[in-house]
């Protein structure tokens, strides 16, 4: 199957500070991909390039075999068609929630995509119900809790039912129950043709949300593989600042071992999950 | 909190007041006179009365509009105490500062003089005109804002052909002003948690100016991010909105009533 996104030698910088360096990779349709890496490794920048919010300084990106360029997206039809198919959930929900009510927020995307108003009303209500936030419909987003804001941000993208979902730290600020609901949702998309690309620090989620993992460091892909392959590569994870030596004591004995939020306690001989 | 932390306490008080003023939901659902009308009628009606009070030159006409505004507020569930504390005293404080010199510097028939200064009849009239106009306009707009959901006000503005850019700007301001006040508050709290003792006045001013600089920089970053988030969902410069309002016979009657009152006041006060 042809890749849904194909990147060729893509580089990007912020006023001369390099963020991505000559990156070449492809994402297949229906794939669930996780981008992992420490802060500043280029994960969010890559997602924004895939969402055509930024454009490469060098190299090229193709979406479904067509070049993804600023010039092409100036065309309303091309732009609306692309936005209809690709949705990005931002890391900070506050930048994504700019409408006066939750209902308006979720309706914003479909309305900009020129959907018929009756369909917008129906789809927004369905999505709010699906996300369990129908009761927040008339509330202003800025008065919600962090977890609720994240759910509204996710609902505002899910409502357009995009083929490609780009999730930037999707579980950040979510309580364990909401986190588990989101993971269930991503797992549910496995049987569909949706492509889900998530940027995350949370190694414990990898096996649930991804089939393929890319490890990013200094704007480059330093490794890729299945979640099991990547998680077993502790040197790599340490080098990418995803796990670290953790000192603590059991009774009177102080010792250290590799540690991440996945609880890689196998140095003890027992793994605590 | 130390009484020296003037800026922090001001920001906190401002945040509380703004939050109360803009997020009041109770009056919106109250079964009052203004709430009985379609939001577009409320916006158009209040706007026409504000214009009438602004163009009117006769004190008694503006006083009559103020009485009408107070009756509208009371019949819409707003307490007199709220009007006095949140509107009249504040407006009197701000407008008084501007009106006071007018009493003394406007030439005309002297009413009373002291220490070389003369209070003139024309000066008193000019000050009264200014204060009454502002009190009337603010009473009307406060009544509108307290009795109508902010979203409905924005939608109404759009349906009465206020440009999309203006409506979007208002919506964004309403949305992000909370975020910036919260951020400013958190910045002061974080500084306070790392500080021992009180700062001198000049140090406080330095901290405040640095904080303002950081906030400005953050606001620029945030505005860029928000624009990206809008673009990501298909925004191309023309805001699309859903309007679900429906005008009933009562709404048409209300609109006619507001417009008739406004026109009569403007004509009588010319």
Q: Which residues of A13-32 are buried (b: 16+ CB within 10 A; e: fewer)?
A: eeeeebbbbebebebeebbb
Residue A257 lies in a domain: no
Q: How many CB pairs under 8 A join A and B?
A: 81
Query: Which residue of B lies nearest to A158 if distances are taken between CA atoms?
Result: B233
Query: Which residue of A lies nearest to B154 if distances are taken between CA atoms?
Result: A100
Pick from A139, A202, A135: which is nearest to A174 by CA? A202
Structural tokens at position B175 = 């949305």
What is the pLDDT at residue A112? Answer: 87
Q: Inform me whether the pLDDT recorded for A271 exceeds 50.
A: no
- Output helix, strand, coil percentages for chain A, rounded to the nearest 5: 40, 30, 30
Residue A100 to residue B151, Cβ atoms within 8 A: yes
Asked if A87 is an interface residue toward chain B (Cβ–Cβ < 8 A), one would say: yes
What sign does the CA torsion over B201, B202, B205, B210 have? negative
| Chain B residues lying within 8 Å of A53, measured CB to CB | 228, 231-232
| Residue ranges covered by each domain of chain B | 1-29+150-239, 31-148+246-270
Say how many domains are in chain A.
Answer: 1
Q: What percent of chain B lies above the pLDDT cut of 90?
A: 22
Shortest alpha-carbon distance between residue A240 and chain B (Å):
27
pLDDT interval class at A232 (50, 70, 90):
confident
Backbone torsions φ then ψ of A248, nearest 5 degrees: -160, 175
Beta-carbon contacts of residue A176 (< 8 Å; ≥ 6 apart): none
**Mutation test of the interface with chain B: which of A84, A95, A97, choosing the one with the most B Cβ atoms within 10 A?**
A95
Q: Inform me whether the pLDDT recorded for B175 exceeds 60.
A: yes
Asked if A238 is an interface residue toward chain B (Cβ–Cβ < 8 A), one would say: no
Q: Chain-wide mean pLDDT for chain A?
A: 85
Rounded to whole angstroms, how far apart are CA atoms A122 and B202? 58
| Chain B residues lying within 8 Å of A80, measured CB to CB | 234, 236
Which CATH number belongs to the domain containing residue A214 in this structure?
A: 3.40.50.300
Residue A142 to residue B231, Cβ atoms within 8 A: no
In this complex, which of A98, A107, A112 lies closest to B172 when CB atoms are compared?
A98
Rounded to whole angstroms, how far apart are CA atoms A121 and A136? 15
Q: Which residue has the tokens 């995509």?
A: A113
Tell me what the mean pLDDT of segment B3-13 comes to. 61
Tell me what the mean pLDDT of segment A229-242 comes to. 82
Q: Inform me whether the pLDDT recorded for A264 exceeds 60.
A: no
Q: Which of A44-58, A66-80, A135-149, B37-51 has the lowest mean pLDDT?
A: A135-149
Residue A72 lies in a domain: yes
Beta-carbon contacts of residue B122 (< 8 Å; ≥ 6 apart): B106, B107, B108, B109
In this complex, which of A76, A94, A100 lies closest to B236 when CB atoms are compared?
A76
Residue A265 lies in a domain: no
What is the pLDDT at residue A189? Answer: 77
Tell which B residues from 240 to 259 touch A, by Cβ distance under 8 Å: 240-242
Asked if A82 is an interface residue toward chain B (Cβ–Cβ < 8 A), one would say: no
**Is the Cβ–Cβ distance between B184 and B18 less than 8 Å?**
no
pLDDT digits (tens, 9 = 90+) for B119-128: 888 888 888 8
Shortest alpha-carbon distance between residue A254 and chain B (Å):
32
Render chain A in DSSP notation, one character per residue: --EEEEEEEEEEEETTEEEEEEEEEEEETT-EEEEEESTTSSHHHHHHHHTTSS--SEEEEEETTEE--HHHHTSHHHHHHHHHHEEEE-SSHHHH--SSSHHHHHHHHHHHTT--HHHHHHHHHHHHHHTT-GGGTTS-GGGS-HHHHHHHHHHHHHTT--SEEEEESTTTT--HHHHHHHHHHHHHGGGSS-EEEEEES-GGGHHHH-SEEEEEETTEEEEEE-HHHHHT-HHHHHHTTSSEEEEEEETTEEEEEEE-TT---GGGTS---
Tell me what the mean pLDDT of segment B246-268 comes to. 91
In this complex, which of A101, A104, A108 lies closest to B233 when CB atoms are compared?
A108
What is the pLDDT at residue A272? Answer: 36
Rounded to whole angstroms, how far apart are CA atoms B167 and B154? 6
∠ CA(A98), CA(B172), CA(A85), 5° rounding? 35
Q: Inform me whether the pLDDT recorded for A75 exceeds 80.
A: yes
Range of the domain at A206: 3-242
Tell me what the mean pLDDT of segment B109-137 comes to. 85
Alpha helix segments (H runs only) across B76-120: 80-82, 89-105
pLDDT digits (tens, 9 = 90+) for B12-64: 666 666 666 555 566 777 788 888 899 889 999 999 999 999 999 899 999 99
Query: Which residue of A lies nearest to B243 if distances are taken between CA atoms?
Result: A117
Residue A112 to residue B234, Cβ atoms within 8 A: yes
Q: Quick one: DSSP state of residue B28?
A: G
Asked if B179 is an interface residue toward chain A (Cβ–Cβ < 8 A), one would say: yes
Structural tokens at position B246 = 């429906």
Q: Which of A24-38, A148-162, B229-243 has the lowest mean pLDDT?
A: B229-243
Residue A90 lies in a domain: yes
Shortest alpha-carbon distance between residue B167 and chain A (Å):
11
Pick from A140, A84, A50: which is nearest to B236 by CA? A84
Q: Which residue has the tokens 């479909």?
A: A110
Tell me what the mean pLDDT of segment B191-215 comes to. 77
Residue A251 lies in a domain: no
Query: Which residue of A lies nearest to B170 if distances are taken between CA atoms?
Result: A100
Query: Which residue of A lies nearest to B221 if distances are taken between CA atoms?
Result: A95
Pick from B179, B168, B154, B182: which is nearest to B227 by CA? B168
Furthest-apart CA pair in chain B: how many Å?
A: 67
In this complex, which of B175, B225, B233 lies closest to A112 when CB atoms are compared?
B233
| Chain B residues lying within 8 Å of A87, measured CB to CB | 232-233
Residue A35 lies in a domain: yes
Q: Chain-wide mean pLDDT for chain B?
A: 81
| Chain A residues lying within 8 Å of B232, measured CB to CB | 51, 53, 83, 87-88, 90
∠ CA(A156), CA(A158), CA(A161), 5° rounding? 130
Backbone torsions φ then ψ of B193, nearest 5 degrees: -70, -20
Tell me what the mean pLDDT of segment A201-219 comes to. 89
Higher pLDDT, B222 or A100: B222
What is the pLDDT at residue A95? Answer: 86
Tell me what the mean pLDDT of segment A225-241 comes to. 85
What is the pLDDT at residue A177? Answer: 80
Structural tokens at position A100 = 């006066």
Rounded to whole angstroms, how far apart are CA atoms A66 and A44? 23
Q: What ipTM does the predicted assembly reach?
A: 0.81
Residue B234 to residue A51, Cβ atoms within 8 A: no
**Is the Cβ–Cβ distance between A246 and A259 less than 8 Å?**
yes
Structural tokens at position B119 = 């209070």
Q: Inform me whether the pLDDT recorded for A4 exceeds 90.
A: yes
pLDDT interval class at B239 (50, 70, 90):
low
Report for A130-139, B104-113, B163-172, B199-208: range of highest mean pLDDT = A130-139
Structural tokens at position A243 = 């796990």
- Which stretches does DSSP call E strand in chain A? 3-14, 17-28, 32-37, 58-63, 66-67, 86-89, 164-168, 195-200, 212-217, 220-225, 244-250, 253-259
Q: Which of A38-52, B4-18, B180-194 has the lowest mean pLDDT?
A: B4-18
Residue B175 to residue A141, Cβ atoms within 8 A: yes
What is the pLDDT at residue B8? Answer: 63
Q: Inform me whether the pLDDT recorded for B256 exceeds 50.
A: yes
Q: Inform me whether the pLDDT recorded for B89 exceeds 80.
A: yes
Rounded to whole angstroms, how far apart are CA atoms A262 and A242? 10
Shortest alpha-carbon distance between residue B22 and chain A (Å):
11
**Is the Cβ–Cβ distance between A166 and A89 less than 8 Å?**
yes
Asked if A95 is an interface residue toward chain B (Cβ–Cβ < 8 A), one would say: yes
Backbone torsions φ then ψ of A245, nearest 5 degrees: -75, 130
Strands A32-37 and A212-217: parallel
Residue B226 to residue A95, Cβ atoms within 8 A: yes
Q: Inform me whether the pLDDT recorded for A124 exceeds 80.
A: yes
């Amino acid at each position: 199957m042809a890749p849904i996104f194909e990147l060729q030698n893509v580089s990007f910088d912020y006023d001369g500070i390099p963020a991505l360096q000559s990156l070449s990779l492809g994402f297949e349709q229906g794939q669930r991909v996780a981008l992992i890496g420490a802060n500043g490794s280029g994960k969010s920048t890559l997602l924004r390039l895939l969402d055509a919010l930024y454009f490469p300084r060098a190299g090229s990106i193709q979406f479904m075999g067509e070049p993804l360029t600023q010039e092409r997206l100036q065309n309303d039809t091309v732009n609306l068609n692309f936005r209809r198919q690709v949705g990005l959930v931002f890391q900070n929900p506050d930048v994504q929630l700019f409408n006066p009510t939750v209902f308006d927020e979720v309706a914003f995307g479909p309305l900009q995509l020129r959907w018929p108003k009756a369909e917008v009303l129906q789809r927004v209500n369905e999505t709010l119900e699906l996300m369990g936030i129908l009761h927040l419909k008339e509330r202003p987003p800025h008065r919600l809790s962090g977890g609720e804001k994240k759910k509204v941000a996710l609902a505002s993208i899910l409502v357009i039912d995009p083929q490609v979902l780009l999730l930037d730290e999707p579980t950040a600020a979510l309580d364990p129950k909401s986190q588990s609901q989101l993971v269930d949702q991503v797992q549910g998309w496995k049987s569909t043709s949706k492509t889900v690309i998530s940027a995350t620090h949370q190694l414990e989620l990898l096996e649930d949300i991804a089939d393929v993992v890319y490890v990013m460091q200094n704007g480059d892909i330093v490794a890729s593989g299945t979640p099991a392959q990547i998680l077993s590569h502790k040197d790599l994870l340490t080098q990418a600042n995803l796990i670290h030596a953790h000192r603590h004591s059991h009774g009177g004995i102080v010792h250290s071992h590799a540690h991440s939020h996945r609880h890689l306690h196998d140095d003890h001989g027992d793994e605590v999950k | 909190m130390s009484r020296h932390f003037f800026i922090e306490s001001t920001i906190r008080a401002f945040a509380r007041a703004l939050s109360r003023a803009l997020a009041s939901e109770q009056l919106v659902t109250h079964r009052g006179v203004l709430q009985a009308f379609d939001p577009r009628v409320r916006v158009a009606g209040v706007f026409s009365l504000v214009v009438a009070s602004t163009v009117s030159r006769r004190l008694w006409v503006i006083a009559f509009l103020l009485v009408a505004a107070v009756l509208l507020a009371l019949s819409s569930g707003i307490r007199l105490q709220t009007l006095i504390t949140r509107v009249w005293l504040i407006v009197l404080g701000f407008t008084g500062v501007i009106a006071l010199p007018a009493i003394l510097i406007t030439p005309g028939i002297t009413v009373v003089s002291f220490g070389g200064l003369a209070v003139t009849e024309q000066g008193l009239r000019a000050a009264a005109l200014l204060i009454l106009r502002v009190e009337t306009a603010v009473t009307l707009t406060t009544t509108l804002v307290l009795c109508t959901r902010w979203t409905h006000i924005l939608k109404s503005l759009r349906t009465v052909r206020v440009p999309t850019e203006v409506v979007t700007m208002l919506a964004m301001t309403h949305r992000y002003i909370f975020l910036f006040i919260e951020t400013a508050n958190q910045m002061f709290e974080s500084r306070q948690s790392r500080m021992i003792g009180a700062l001198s006045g000049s140090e406080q001013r330095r901290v405040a100016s640095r904080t303002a600089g950081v906030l400005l920089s953050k606001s620029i970053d945030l505005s860029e991010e928000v624009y990206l988030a809008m673009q990501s969902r298909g925004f191309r410069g023309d805001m699309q909105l859903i309007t679900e309002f429906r005008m009933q016979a009562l709404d048409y009657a209300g609109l006619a009533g507001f417009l008739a009152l406004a026109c009569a006041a403007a004509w009588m006060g010319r």
